[in-house]
Amino acid sequence: MSHIYDRVALIGMGLIASSMFWAMKRGDLAGHVTGFARSEETRETARRIGLCDTVCDTLADAVRDADLIVLAVPVGVMGQIAAEIAPYLKPGATLTDVGSVKGRVIADVSPHVPDGVHFVPGHPLAGTEYSGPESGFPSLFDNRWCLIVPPEGADPQAVDTLSTFWRGLGSDVELMEPDHHDLVLSVTSHCPHLIAYTMVGVADDLGRVTNTEVIKYSAGGFRDFTRIAASDPTMWRDVFLSNKDATLEILGRFTEELFALQRAIRQGDGEFLHDYFTRTRAIRRSIIEAGQDTAAPNFGRSG
């Protein structure tokens, strides 16, 4: 029997939780999986598509007897949900989350974790711009990193078992400190999203002047920005409000670089621009070599 946990509870049934469920089934990693979402609509959809072995109408029913409880809700509500489920958690259980920010989640959730329950936060570096119970698929985590971010004094056995579980879901696992996680993710994910939101906002403003030509002639660069900028607004609002310091630090650096490029363009400094773009091209190459993206033209898209 390959079950890593006998009973798993998924709190929230959106993109990440539903992908975890299908990947758990693919790998036969759990004996029984319960799920809870706040809206009746999501619970009904989950029942219709067979998402989770049991869909529960209350948080208490979902987490009771669970060996692993996964908080897969927006970062801003993790603390409140931890407080609500605390009285029903089984001693010896592991509580984890999949939130995109770690420092704030650890600060919000830790005070509510009962003695004897192991809190081991995590963050799978995998996603799409889609959300909701029907957006998940079993291969979402394949060959993607999952960062496990244990707070000080975390139980090593609980950390080990959760790492094995994520490997079973298809991920490569690494441990990281919370502050470091939030800084790294600010560079690799949070600020790029903010820049995409900004660029699409600019195009939208301009679109009113150019009568939708921006949409009609949208080519590679802009089209890829719009994909990122289609991500869930609640999730991303919470990410920026929760990872304020690192975001402001990286945005400050970004603005300085942008001004340097702006000045080079104004002064006709082609050498500066060429050197800059040569350096950035090498980064793209290393991402492909690290197996984190495809080298196919147009990101492997057919159209």
In the complex, which residues of this chain contact ligand NAP (CB under 6 A)?
12-17, 37-39, 42, 72-75, 77, 98-100, 123-124, 127, 131-132, 232, 235, 239
Closest approach, Cβ 279 to ligand NAP, in A, equals 28
Closest approach, Cβ 244 to ligand NAP, in A, equals 15
The torsion angles phi and psi of 222, rounded to 5 degrees, stand at -65, -40
Between 121 and 214, CB nearer to ligand NAP: 121
Q: Are 36 and 13 in contact (CB under 8 A)?
A: yes
Between 189 and 207, CB nearer to ligand NAP: 189
Q: Are 69 and 9 in contact (CB under 8 A)?
A: yes
Q: Are 123 and 190 in contact (CB under 8 A)?
A: no
Between 99 and 103, CB nearer to ligand NAP: 99
Residue type present at position 263: R
Closest approach, Cβ 248 to ligand NAP, in A, equals 19
Interstrand relation of 145-148 and 122-124 (parallel, antiparallel or unpaired): antiparallel
E-state strands within the chain: 5-11, 30-36, 54-55, 68-71, 94-97, 118-119, 122-124, 145-148, 172-175
Between 79 and 168, CB nearer to ligand NAP: 79
Alpha carbon distance 290, 175 (integer Å): 18
Closest approach, Cβ 36 to ligand NAP, in A, equals 8
Closest approach, Cβ 16 to ligand NAP, in A, equals 4
Closest approach, Cβ 18 to ligand NAP, in A, equals 7
Alpha carbon distance 281, 286 (integer Å): 9
Between 62 and 159, CB nearer to ligand NAP: 62
The angle subtended at Cα 265 by Cα 259 and Cα 266, nearest 5°, is 85
Between 37 and 194, CB nearer to ligand NAP: 37
